[in-house]
Amino acid sequence: MLETASKSIVAWPGKSQVHASARNPGVPFDLSWLDGLRVNQSAVARRASTLGTRRAVKKDAQAAWLLKAITCIDLTTLSGDDTHGRVERLCAKARRPLRDDLLDALGMTPLSITTGAVCVYHRYVKTAVNALEGSGIPVAAVSTGFPAGLNPHELKLREIEASVRDGASEIDIVVTREHVLMGNWQALYDEMRDFRAACGDAHVKAILATGDIRTLSNVAKASMICMMAGADFIKTSTGKESVNATLDVSLVMVRMIREYLARTGVMVGFKPAGGVSTAKSVLEYQILMKEELGREWLEADLFRIGASSLLSDIERQLEHHVSGRYSAFNRHPVA
């Protein structure tokens, strides 16, 4: 039911062939890439509104898509009352996201299904690394003064370096919203390049905080600048804004990923975060990725979902698929 991860070479007409897991080296700053970049908000809204209606995913197919979604979840705890014990429980859930009886009923027992990553504050990186040892599940650390991103720049760089030393293989950075709001694209590019360099071998996800940067045009331009500066993923939100991931914003961001691929031949990943809490909503994001970017963007090396409660709802839907009955949420604890 669950297809094996695709690691195929993808050809783009007139461009070099690039492996899906390759890093994004970035390109020199070129403001002309933003010339004439405008977003038709009503057209975006119309396109986004069709994602959940044009394609029906039911029964076994829906179960397969939801199993695939589990492998793309960045299972996350970013609360002020986090503890080492909570992080260890979250890591245990990441290792075994589904109950054994559900795996047996779905015929998935022979496969190793885990979440895509575990995402924590820097304080808990070592705890997560130790708890996930031998699992192959990466640890992602939020950094650069998450969620506001207003710490001094040098302090942001030291925070990234500390998380990498502690074992984080992915760093979710927060851009300075002021650079976007003021249209200071050179400053945003320079900041992102510094973050990319500080990450070393760790993959970097650029959080745009789309709920704070006001317009879809800003979202499009910030997406392109961050990719030009070397972001391996672009991510919608911290999950702490008043408005987080939406299909409208996500459509604009994935169209920019498509444009960047056309210009450079480099595949950049996408991560919606905040508000993706139901199986129905995650299916819409998967359909978005499939229709706008292609099959390769349904794999964890190019698609992640920042979530905590989503996994419980997916489990409930899979149990309903197996038994025909919905169960209580407390039968599917996240941690």
Q: d(Cα 3, Cα 81) in Å, to the nearest integer?
A: 38
Judged by DSSP in three states, 17 sits in coil
Residue of 68, 74, 126, 172 marked active site? 172
β partners of residue 117 = 74
Whether 271 is catalytic is: yes
- Tokens 């002309």 -> residue: 32
Residue of 74, 221, 271, 313 marked active site? 271
Both tokens assigned to 51:
């994602």
Residues 6+ positions from 282 with CB-CB distance below 8 Å: 66, 69, 276, 305, 307, 310, 314
Backbone angles phi, psi at 277, to 5 degrees: -120, -5
Q: d(Cα 25, Cα 21) in Å, to the nearest integer?
A: 12
In this structure, the number of other CB atoms found within 10 A of the CB of residue 49 comes to 12
**Nearest by Cα to 233 from 214, 207, 255:** 207
Q: d(Cα 93, Cα 137) in Å, to the nearest integer?
A: 11
Q: How far is CA 311 from CA 104, 307, 331, in A?
A: 18, 8, 12
Residue of 126, 156, 205, 235 marked active site? 235
Whether 126 is catalytic is: no
Judged by DSSP in three states, 53 sits in coil
Q: d(Cα 289, Cα 284) in Å, to the nearest integer?
A: 9
Judged by DSSP in three states, 187 sits in helix
Cα torsion 321, 326, 331, 335 to 10°: value is 70
Whether 205 is catalytic is: no
Catalytic residues: 172, 235, 271
